[in-house]
Amino acid sequence: MNQELQTKIDGLKATLTGDLFQDMEARDKIHNLEMKLNGVKPTSSEIDCVGCGS
């Protein structure tokens, strides 16, 4: 599972162009995958990542 998430993250990072607006969707996906990978949830959230949609 972790290796699969890391592979997806690496693939998305390879598509980044350096243009903030063009990369916004990919960066959002990377952020969501990294949160899953690291088991992170938003601070002061009782519900795991439902509040922010991740």
> Does the pLDDT of residue 54 top 70, yes or no?
no
- Chain segment 10-22, per-residue pLDDT in tens: 999 999 999 999 9
The pTM assigned to this predicted structure is: 0.71
- Going by C-beta distance under 8 Å and a sequence separation of 6 or more, which residues neighbour residue 2? 37
- Chain segment 3-53, per-residue pLDDT in tens: 999 999 999 999 999 999 999 999 999 998 998 888 876 555 555 555 555
As a whole number of angstroms, the distance between CA 23 and CA 48 comes to 26
